[in-house]
Amino acid sequence: MHLGPETYALLTIVAFIAGFIDAIAGGGGLLTVPAMLSAGVPPIATLATNKLQSSFSSATSTFSFSRQGMIDWRTYWPQVVLILILSGIGSLVVQSIKTDILDLIVPGLLVAVAAYVLLSPRMSDDDAHERVSAKAYLPVGGAIGFYDGFFGPGTGSFFATSLVSLRGLGLIRATAHTKAFNFASNIGSLVIFLATGHTMILLGLCMAIDSASGAWTGSHTAIRFGARVIRPVLVTISLILTAKLLWQALA
């Protein structure tokens, strides 16, 4: 499909903001997915292209956090592998759903995810006692990875919240590991979408440049200040864009 240069410019700006927010609090897809849908990109192409651009931002964030020694690769490599595999399966499953059904499902999921982010409890940056072992966390991480391949927006928030509540990680360390998990799920999903030809390569690469820049800025901001002011902005913008999508569907 053809998109004008002004649409490309707008979506790249959204990608920068999403990359910044995603690096700090997760949920950058809450901005990029409805923005692409509002621009007229088909649902499957939106999910596929979002994986391309978000792969760059998650890679940038993962590198930044890992270089600071905030990711425990020795403990969490099984989660990374499982998430990569199940996200690819999720991307296969979503392609079996008819597009007209997905048009109805996506706005509903966006509202549900935004409500989750809004209602999630405040989390601190201090580590706490773990409720489950790293091995017991495998099915949780795998399920979220499958969801990321199937849909995606809000995945970062799900990873971070579960790591805090179940594994006892402080919010900053949870965010660091979330980026590693996000990168794995993005790659697993992207491979499937590229193989099936749904990805808009040019749009994805244009958005990826700004997304990576935003992720670099956001990850360094998170390391320095924490992630307490992003969620209200994230929820507000996502609900506005979702309302626009629903208005267009009803119209």
Q: Give the residue among 145, 3, 173, 164 at the shortest CA–CA distance from 78.
A: 145
Full-prediction pTM beyond 0.95? no
What contacts 122, CB < 8 A, 6 or more positions away?
A: 228
Structure tokens at 229: 């002011």
Q: Which domain does 190 fall in, by range?
A: 5-250
Of 10-19, 26-35, 221-230, the least confident: 221-230
Q: Give the residue among 129, 156, 191, 165 at the shortest CA–CA distance from 65.
A: 156
Please give the pLDDT value at position 191: 94
Burial of 147 (0-12, 13-18, 19+ CB in 10 A): buried
Report how far residue 16's alpha carbon sits from residue 215's, in angstroms, rounded to the nearest whole number.
Answer: 8
The better pLDDT of the pair 224, 181 is held by 181
E-strand ranges in 80-212 read none
Tell me if 200 sits within 8 A of 99, measured CB to CB: no
Q: Could you report the per-residue pLDDT of 147-178, keeping only the tens digit for each?
A: 888 877 667 777 887 888 888 888 788 889 99
The better pLDDT of the pair 189, 230 is held by 189
Please give the pLDDT value at position 66: 93
Chain-centroid distance of CA 31 in Å reads 10
126 SS3 class:
coil
Average predicted confidence (pLDDT) for the chain: 82
Q: Give the residue among 117, 162, 151, 129 at the shortest CA–CA distance from 25.
A: 117
What is the radius of gyration, based on Cα positions, of the chain?
17
Tell me if 50 sits within 8 A of 205, measured CB to CB: no
Structure tokens at 158: 């799900």
Q: Give the residue among 24, 26, 54 at the shortest CA–CA distance from 144.
A: 26
Query: Domain tally for the chain?
Result: 1
Tell me if 76 sits within 8 A of 177, measured CB to CB: yes
What percent of the chain has a predicted confidence (pLDDT) above 90? 35
Q: Could you report the per-residue pLDDT of 33-84, keeping only the tens digit for each?
A: 888 988 989 888 988 898 999 899 899 999 989 998 999 999 999 999 999 9
Please give the pLDDT value at position 25: 67
What contacts 136, CB < 8 A, 6 or more positions away?
A: none
Structure tokens at 76: 């969490």
The better pLDDT of the pair 235, 196 is held by 196
Q: Tell me the mean pLDDT in the region 97-118.
A: 65
Q: Could you report the per-residue pLDDT of 122-145, keeping only the tens digit for each?
A: 444 555 667 889 999 999 999 999
The better pLDDT of the pair 98, 160 is held by 160
Report how far residue 248's alpha carbon sits from residue 34's, in angstroms, rounded to the nearest whole number.
Answer: 12
